[in-house]
Structures are given as structure tokens and as C-alpha cells.
Chain A
């Protein structure tokens, strides 16, 4: 049963690299947040893990409003086939690394360490591939979500959970500011 959120995490992380339409990306990100909260609930009480889900939904809401207000188009960065191949390779490497508890975190479940590794690897891939604020923000959120799945096991304090959640919302606010208040930059990829 617990492998279901792991499969969801892998599918959403892969889809975020491939999908180009900002609206779809945010919907996929919301699904990723739900699966991350599910995985976090394996280590924390569900009501505490729900903090991640609530913060994630607020983040997605801010990003959705930003996309709606900024008339942003998609950023492909590179060809879809290239991104798909890169995502498959990185995912394969992440699955290989995530099979062992490479962070040496005590009492962490295998599916949690696997999900953390996949999200961190795919987040890094997104940061390498994309340059527009929205895509960089989604890449950072993916990277952070992976880290937080593992970190929640070793530091379950509510204060830290809340501070980390505030970072997700802060990132969304900064991207929103850059898209709506500052003038968008003309990126060579024909981005936003």
C-alpha cells in the first residue's frame, strides 16, 4: 500500500519535466504535494503531515493565480524527447541510489528514502534544464520536498515543519512577484 505514494511521486516528478503547459504543471505539483504528505505521514502523525499538504495547496494556489495573471506561456528549455530521455536516465540513477539508505538516516522506511532520492534528483534536473521563474520554482519545490521527506524523520518538530512550509509559500510569492510586479525578462528560450 505504501508503494502507491512512491509511484505517485515518481510519476509526478517525471511529468513535471515533460509537461510544458503551466496550468498542467501546477496541477501535477498539487498531486506531488499530496503524495509527499502521504509519505511524510509514515513518519509523523497524519495531522502534522497535513501541514505539508496545506502549505502545498497554498503554494499551488499562489502559482495558479500568478500563471493566470501573467499570461505566461510555456518554457520548453530543450526538446521534449531530450527531456524525456534525461528524466528516464536520472530517474534510473535515483532508483539505483535510493535502494540503499545512503543518507544513513535511522528508522527511515525504504519507500521514503527512495521517494526522497527521486524528488531530489528530479528537482536538480529541472534546475539544470529550465530558467524561467516558474520552472525554477517548481524545480526548487521538488528538490525541497525530497529533502523534507527525509528530514521529517530526523526532525519532527512542528516549528521546523512550519518554517520549511513557509519556504514553499515564500518561493511561490517571490515567483509571483517576479511575474506580476517586475517586468518579465526576454529569455532566449522564448520563455515567459
Chain B
């Protein structure tokens, strides 16, 4: 029996089941979170390609599954990434009921996770681009639940992912069939250009981030946080697999310079626009852009642990985004203008803490990995490190300014607090954010496992 066939069958059954129960408040979230957690742990820990005994029955789980003549395979390179996606899904589903993200959130979320798992496991991995595009389609259903307003902004996501898919598919052919390496400089430049376009879209490098701010005020923030983290994480794993598989790419200084330039652009752009921002919701979007820029800076830094830091940053980004999404979704009932913090103090504090974590502030989950990066970069005079520090101070100022605005006296000073279960969800995530900020070693085993799979990038 193939492990992946088992996972995809289970996902299909779960999608149908949660669709049937979509009108229930808690049940679809409970089913999906439990199942996603089990699938995630199964992918991370199941013994593959060896005979085992389950309740006395002999069983063998194959790592490969053939679909339409193409193998999908769980290997050390992708197991941690696929497991991570399902654990992220479990976290979002487990708290989703508190944010009321709409009836399509759970079934479409499960479908998107399945498609992203397909993207990370298909061989050759260059065909992942098609699955990423299909996942983007499922994400549209997450962002626009039935009955809500159809926003043309979500179509931008489809347009961008279609272009990324075409660029990466064509690059795949050049790499696999034409055998492009650095000894064919003209073709190598073409590959770098096309790949650069593809990954700029997948990693929200400006200006390809524009679909995020265009819809952040029109869709449920929790849904947007989920979509952003699963799409961006898949893009990040995809980039790391490219670098791990092609030695000439790791060695080409043009590629590391391009990644570094993209990272610096994201940090500078994200920070400046966040500082100038007049919309509370858009701050998190630009903090996210700057945070992804820090990850790219880590990858391009040439440090032995650069990829490990990038994966670590990706893992704690989830916590910041869940917290922000949860707080902002609950706040939507009181609005985001002056006085909103007095109307919903706990939710507002959660949203602000989420932004602080995305900005890598001390005592939050986002800090330890940034600190590790800064510590290692400080050995040499590094422009990137200085920009990261400036960005952190600027983002702190932004959050303090918005704290004053949101908790100030204003027209929306009507008393509003989420239900008790919503408060519990917010408190749990805020606690997790602080615990991961104080005890970063809790996230380390997973990061270490993920990096170990990337044999050529691990320290």
C-alpha cells in the first residue's frame, strides 16, 4: 500500500465529509484539525518501504505512488515540508471556528493542502508548478466563501500563479532535458530570469505581492493568513529543493546575488510601506513581506546554517500569522479604527502581538531565528543585517503607534468582546507565541529534521 495513496484518499473523504457538515459550527473544524494532525505526524514518522506489523497484520507502506504515469514520492527531501503543511493546517483548523472564516474554509483548505502535498512530492519535482496553480484555485474558494462578495482581487492570485507555473515549467524543461548548467551561460541566464520570475511570484516579492494588500480588507483575515502561509511555505520549500538539487545554482554568484537583492528589496519595501500605512490590516501584509525578505537574506547569506534559519523563520511565521488572523477576524466586528482596541481589547492585543512576531520583536516567536541570523551576519559588516535591525525598530514604532490609535478614545468605543471560546483561542495562541519566543529550542527538532532532508544545504 502506498502511503501517499492513503493520505490522498483520506483527504478526499475528509473534504466530502466536512462539506456535508459545513453548516455545523465546530464539527468540520474538529474533524479537519484532528485528521490533519494525524496525517502530518504520519508523514513525518511513518516507517516507509519496510515491512511492519500493525495489530498483528503484516503491512508495508510504499513511499511512491504512481498517478497518470508520474510518480509521487515521499523522500527525506520533502517529508518535513509535507508534514509541516499538514501540521499548519491542523493548527488553523483547530482555531478556525473562533474566526468564522466561512463554510468553504475547511473543505477547500483540505483540498489545497492535498494539492500542495502533491506539488512537493511529484517527480520530477519541476512539475510541482501545475499543482501549485491548482492549489491557488482552491485558495480562491477559501478566500471567497459562499454568499460573500466576489472580489476581483482574488483573480490576481490566479493570474500570477498561472504566470509562475508557465515560467517554472519552461525552466524545468531547460534544466532537465536541455541540461543547462553554468557552462552554457546564455541558457543559464535565461533559466535564472524565468526562475526568478516564477519564484518572485511564489514568494510574494514586490511587485508580485500586490494581490495581498488588494484583498486584505475585503476577505476574512484568518483565511488570508492561512492562504498566505501555505502558498508561501510551499514556494520556500520549492526554492530550497531547487538549490539542493542543482549544484551549479548553489555555486552561481549571480543567483545568490539575485536572492539577496530580492530579500533586501522585500525588507526595505515592506518596512517603508508599513510605516506609511494608514490601514491597520495592511501592516501585517507588509510585515509578512519584510519577514519573507529576511528568510531570503538568510538563504543568500552564504552561511552554513542559512537554509536552517530560513526554515526556522518559516515555521515561526505561522504562529505570528495565526495570532494576527485570529485577532483581526474577531476585531472585524468592531472595526479597525480609533477606539477599536477598547471595544475588543484582547483581540486587538492578539493582532498587534501577531504583527510584533512577524516583525521579529524580542520575546515573540519570530525573534530567536532573526537573532541567530543577526548574530552570524554580524561577524562581517553586512548591509542586510543593518537593514534587518532598522526594519525591526521601524516595525516596533509602527506597532506602538497603532496601539495608541486602536486603544485611544474613538467613535467605535462600544463594548464588544468575543465569546469565551474565542478568548481561549486567542489566549492559547498568544501563550504559544511567547513560549516559542522564550524557548526557541521547542521548534528546533522539526527545523533540524527539515534541513537534514536537504542534504546539500544542511550544515
- Asked whether B166 is an interface residue with its Cβ less than 8 Å from the other chain, the reply is yes
- Asked whether B151 is an interface residue with its Cβ less than 8 Å from the other chain, the reply is yes
Least Cβ–Cβ distance between A192 and chain B, in angstroms:
9
- Across the two chains, which residue of chain A brings its CB closest to B129? A163
- A167 in contact with B134 (CB, 8 Å): yes
- Asked whether A56 is an interface residue with its Cβ less than 8 Å from the other chain, the reply is no
Interface string of B117-137 (1 = CB under 8 A from A): 000000000010011011001
List residues 125-177 of chain A with CB under 8 A from any CB of chain B: 127, 131-133, 136, 140, 143-144, 147, 151, 154-155, 157-160, 162-164, 166-167, 170-171, 173-174, 177
Size category, B interface: 20 to 34
Given contact pairs A154-B177, A167-B134, A174 touches B158 in the complex (Cβ within 8 A): yes
Interface string of B136-180 (1 = CB under 8 A from A): 010011001111111110110011001000100110010001000
- Asked whether B67 is an interface residue with its Cβ less than 8 Å from the other chain, the reply is yes
List residues 176-192 of chain A with CB under 8 A from any CB of chain B: 177-179, 181-185, 187
Secondary structure class of chain A's binding surface, majority of residues: helix
Given contact pairs A174-B137, A178-B144, A133 touches B150 in the complex (Cβ within 8 A): yes
A interface residues, how many (CB within 8 angstroms): 35
- A170 in contact with B134 (CB, 8 Å): yes
- Across the two chains, which residue of chain B brings its CB closest to A151? B169
List residues 36-70 of chain B with CB under 8 A from any CB of chain A: 67-70
Cα(A127)–Cα(B159), bound, Å: 8
- Across the two chains, which residue of chain B brings its CB closest to A132? B152
User: In the complex, which residues of chain A have a beta carbon less than 8 angstroms from the beta carbon of B67?
Assistant: 159
User: In the complex, which residues of chain B have a beta carbon less than 8 angstroms from the beta carbon of A173?
Assistant: 137
User: In the complex, which residues of chain B have a beta carbon less than 8 angstroms from the beta carbon of A174?
Assistant: 137, 140-141, 158
User: In the complex, which residues of chain A have a beta carbon less than 8 angstroms from the beta carbon of B151?
Assistant: 185
Given contact pairs A155-B173, A159-B70, A131 touches B158 in the complex (Cβ within 8 A): no
Least Cβ–Cβ distance between A89 and chain B, in angstroms:
21
Least Cβ–Cβ distance between B135 and chain A, in angstroms:
10
- A158 in contact with B177 (CB, 8 Å): no
User: In the complex, which residues of chain B have a beta carbon less than 8 angstroms from the beta carbon of A131?
Assistant: 152, 155
User: In the complex, which residues of chain B have a beta carbon less than 8 angstroms from the beta carbon of A151?
Assistant: 169-170, 173
User: In the complex, which residues of chain A have a beta carbon less than 8 angstroms from the beta carbon of B169?
Assistant: 147, 151, 155
Given contact pairs A154-B173, A158-B69, A159-B68, A144 touches B162 in the complex (Cβ within 8 A): yes
User: In the complex, which residues of chain B have a beta carbon less than 8 angstroms from the beta carbon of A167?
Assistant: 130, 133-134, 137
Cα(A122)–Cα(B306), bound, Å: 42
- B158 in contact with A136 (CB, 8 Å): yes
- Across the two chains, which residue of chain B brings its CB closest to A155? B173
Least Cβ–Cβ distance between B365 and chain A, in angstroms:
34
- B134 in contact with A160 (CB, 8 Å): no
Q: Which residues of B contact A (CB under 8 A)?
A: 67-70, 127, 130-131, 133-134, 137, 140-141, 144-152, 154-155, 158-159, 162, 166, 169-170, 173, 177
Given A143-B162, A184-B150: 8 more A-B contacts, CB < 8 Å: A132-B152, A147-B169, A170-B134, A178-B150, A182-B144, A182-B145, A182-B150, A185-B152
Jot down 22 A-B pairs with beta carbons below 8 A, ordered by A.
Answer: A133-B150, A133-B152, A133-B155, A136-B158, A140-B158, A140-B162, A151-B170, A158-B69, A159-B67, A163-B127, A163-B130, A164-B130, A167-B137, A174-B137, A174-B141, A177-B140, A177-B141, A178-B150, A182-B150, A183-B149, A183-B150, A185-B152
